[in-house]
Chain A
Amino acid sequence: MRKSFGKRLAAMVVSVLMLVTVLGGCADSASGGNSVVTSDGKVQISFWHSMSGNNQEVLDQIVEGFNASQDQYVVVAENQGSYDESTGKFFNMANGAGSAHIIQIGEQNLQSMIDSGMIASISDLIEKYDFDDSDLLEQVVNFYTVNDTLYVMPFNCSSPVVYYNKGVFDAAGYTEFPSTFEGISEAAAAIAAQNDSITPVGMYAYGYALDQMVTNMGGYIINNENGRASRATEVSYQDQITQIYDWIKSLQDAGYLLNYGTDGTNTISGFTQQQIGMFIASSASARNVIDSSEFEVGIAPLPVPEGVEAQGVYAGGGALCAAAGMDEQTEAGVMAFFEYVTSPEVQAEWASGTGYFPICHGAYETETMQNTYAELPQLEVAAQQLLNSQVNSITAGPLLSQLPQLRTDLQSALEAVFNGSDVASAVEQAVSSTNSAITSANEGVAN
């Protein structure tokens, strides 16, 4: 009983159709570069960011503000997870359809983005669109400038700071927050002596804060002048990080320290529930911490060991990349958005609502910003810490594709110290892990 030819043909047609469906899904993504136009004729610009919670709400308002301010473009903002996750997705999309036109990155992703060749040079765009960049903070521009080319548009700048419970420190006789490791240790002892219910210092392993503390103490994080003179080949933070860990270990051994692992959220909730007296975190959370605490929150610059002059910090936080190879229309829209978000008034609104500080001089003069700083002077601390920083190759900040790995290793080492390991072997472990990562990553860009 032979099957008819028709049946076989039908089976073949069905298979081919299914195949087309499968491959068709893939083919779509090869059509990148063309602008997407919405039904009401606006050019759609896709914006990937890594803001969540309170900061995301403020960002959404700004995007809405831009969309309402003109009728040519519409920016669609999407949270794509952390900076590192979002960068990874961006690489995987290879600038195909559905990928971002604007992507927000953290300072640790800068070298990777440049290496990928998937982002446009902002310097070129600035020239092409006559963008006025004279008002941008030089510290920030310096960080993101590599070989005289600015690769990203500064947007959200932050620096790690000390958050402390003002009431608790006042009660222990410290109305002025100590600026040195030793001073904080003494204050911790005083707090422990007169307040049973609170652990003086809370801490979580936070790589970004650790490498900023190295910078603040005048150390290069990686060799070849932080990777700015030529591509870095190994870490060089050993002396400073040993001092930092020794200090943390002494706090822990004295029972003044509570360790929160790597969980920043838990640290913040421990602080707002008055279980710890101080902690170190990015200023980005400042507004959130202040608003959710029922006591007065003090913010202070990063401490240094006695006898060391604070150098200041590099311009951390995030910035906006523009994808390479956009068509004219989209590119113009991206630049219009950049112009909007770096304008003084928008930067002031952004900084007031978050804990980032404005990246243009003009914003500091606006009424919004001045009112905010008058009402919440703490928010100004992070900005001052950066603005007062010395301008040299140390505070230019590290340039390294393996910066996320470097930070993870610093975190692991600190967690080892938290768990009783000795400082020297913890540092050694971090150094060897990061160095081998740098070697293997450099192999990948060698040719």
Chain B
Amino acid sequence: MGVKTMARKRKAQNAKRKQGKELKPKKRLPLWIIYLLPSMLIFILFVIYPFIKTIITSFFATSNTGALTQMVGFSNYISLFTSETYLHSLGTTFLYTILTVPLTVIISLMLAVLSSSNLPGMGVFRTIFSSTMGISVAAGSVFWNLLFHPTAGLLNRIVQWFGGEPIGWLTDTNFAIYSIAAVSIWMNIGFSYLVLMGGLKNIDDSHYESVEIVGGGFFYRLRKVTIPLISPSLFFVVTISLINAFQSFGLIDMLTSGGPNNSTNLMVYKLYNDAFVNFRFGLASAQGIILFILIFLISQLQTKLTERLVTYQ
């Protein structure tokens, strides 16, 4: 069943509709245009227009107020791809994505599976596991900044209590990206957990009863029933997490400002700095376009790869 059946059904419906339509007079003003108008206008104003403008700006040098002053062709793109900092930033962004996305999804899936049973007191755990959703990036960063403090932070006190040397969580180039990734996973678990939990709760008990009749264990159940049945939620969570990872900004801005030595200077943070601190809008626009293409390609690739694994009930 699934996709194919649905497609077939839709075709049949369309055919029916066509037949009906031919009987009616064709003079009608297409009402759908009017219904779409408000959202189309907003969409054009805030998405399509800025997008086209960004493409244009990316081929120009700009004044610091954003006025286009000189056409420079592909020079913004060329200078980006020959800039060590930008290539480094690209690499860091990929590393960060690989660090955060799988772990976020796996951990929240585990938590969701563990807390989906109806034992008494589960509500408490569910609240705790989803609670990071209610914490703003700013508040979370302030809190983690205290924990990461090089001398007074709790984490280094623990390390020292065990006899270790204090670690520069956010100041050591070898650690900073992992520290940020850890905080990011912690922050994103709440949302993923909630979505996956919703998926789990939608699974009909009869499926589990069948497993019990067959005599399958916990992992059999997870592999054959739970994961296939929540695959739409999983697919959604992975897509959103990927896009979010590529666009992460808040934690970086609050915790490291892209440092130490650019080791956490992710693409969007660099873009922000070039646009709104250094006022080089042309260069920043080019980065925006590159980021768009990247996210577009990766989402496409991910859809292609996982589409057949997703089953809709």
Residues of A within 8 A of B (CB): 2-3, 8, 11-12, 15, 18-19, 22, 84-85, 88, 91-92, 94, 112, 115-118, 199, 205, 258-263, 266, 269-270, 273, 275-276, 401-402, 404-405, 408, 411-413, 415-416, 418-419, 421, 429, 433, 436-437, 440-441, 443-447
Contacts and interface: CB of A to CB of B under 8 A. Distances in A.
Given A22-B42, A263-B170, A266-B149, A412 B64 contact: no
Contacts of B19: none
9 pairs of A and B residues whose beta carbons are closest in the complex: A261-B171, A415-B260, A443-B61, A275-B151, A88-B276, A415-B261, A416-B261, A444-B61, A18-B38
Given A116-B63, A262-B257, A441-B280, 19 more contacts: A2-B28, A11-B35, A18-B41, A91-B279, A92-B66, A115-B64, A116-B64, A205-B259, A261-B170, A261-B259, A263-B145, A270-B150, A270-B151, A404-B278, A411-B259, A412-B261, A415-B260, A418-B261, A437-B278
Contacts of B283: 440
Given A205-B259, A260-B171, A419-B173, A444 B150 contact: no
Nearest to B41: A19
Contacts of B145: 263, 266
23 contacts: A15-B35, A18-B38, A22-B41, A22-B42, A22-B45, A91-B64, A91-B66, A112-B64, A112-B279, A117-B65, A205-B260, A261-B150, A261-B176, A270-B151, A402-B278, A412-B260, A415-B259, A416-B260, A436-B83, A437-B278, A441-B279, A441-B280, A446-B70
A334 to B, nearest CB: 21
B282 interface: yes
Nearest to B169: A261
Interface string B176-208: 100000000000000000000000000000000
A275 B171 contact: no
B169 to A, nearest CB: 9
B279 A445 contact: no
Nearest to B152: A273
A107 to B, nearest CB: 15
Nearest to B76: A440
Nearest to B279: A112
A108 to B, nearest CB: 10
B261 A444 contact: no
Interface residues of B, number: 51
Contacts of B37: 15, 19
Contact of B64 (A199, A263, A408, A444): A444
A275 B42 CA distance: 55
B262 to A, nearest CB: 5
B168 to A, nearest CB: 7
Nearest to A447: B69
Given A258-B150, A261-B256, A412-B261, A85 B69 contact: no
A23 B214 CA distance: 63
A446 B63 CA distance: 9
B280 A444 contact: yes
A270 B41 contact: no
Interface residue SS majority, chain A = helix
Contacts of A85: 276-277
Contacts of B124: none
A276 B65 contact: no
Contacts of A401: 64, 279
B65 A118 contact: yes
A275 B282 CA distance: 45
Contacts of A84: 276-277
Nearest to A111: B64
Interface string B106-150: 000000000000000000000000000000000000000100011
A411 B259 CA distance: 8
Most chain A CB within 10 A, of B63, B151, B168, B176, is at B151
B209 interface: no
B63 A115 contact: yes
Interface string B22-47: 00000011010011011001100100
Contacts of B84: 429
A408 B277 CA distance: 10
A60 to B, nearest CB: 22
A419 B176 CA distance: 12
B70 A437 contact: no
B273 interface: yes
B79 A261 contact: no
B151 A440 contact: no
A30 B262 CA distance: 40
B212 interface: no
Interface string B261-274: 11000000000010
B277 A404 contact: yes
B79 A419 contact: no
B85 interface: yes
Contacts of A260: 150, 171
B20 to A, nearest CB: 12
Nearest to A85: B276
B11 to A, nearest CB: 26
B72 interface: yes
A168 B257 CA distance: 32
A444 B259 contact: no
A400 B278 CA distance: 11
B307 interface: no
B62 interface: yes
A92 B259 CA distance: 27
A444 B62 contact: yes
A411 B76 CA distance: 24
Contacts of A440: 61, 76, 79, 280, 282-283
Contacts of B276: 84-85, 88
A419 B70 contact: no
A15 B34 contact: yes
Contacts of B72: 443
B151 A88 contact: no
A8 B45 CA distance: 25
B164 to A, nearest CB: 16
Nearest to A90: B65
Contacts of A421: 261
A116 B66 CA distance: 9
Given A441-B279, A446-B61, A418 B151 contact: no
Contacts of A419: 172-174, 260-261
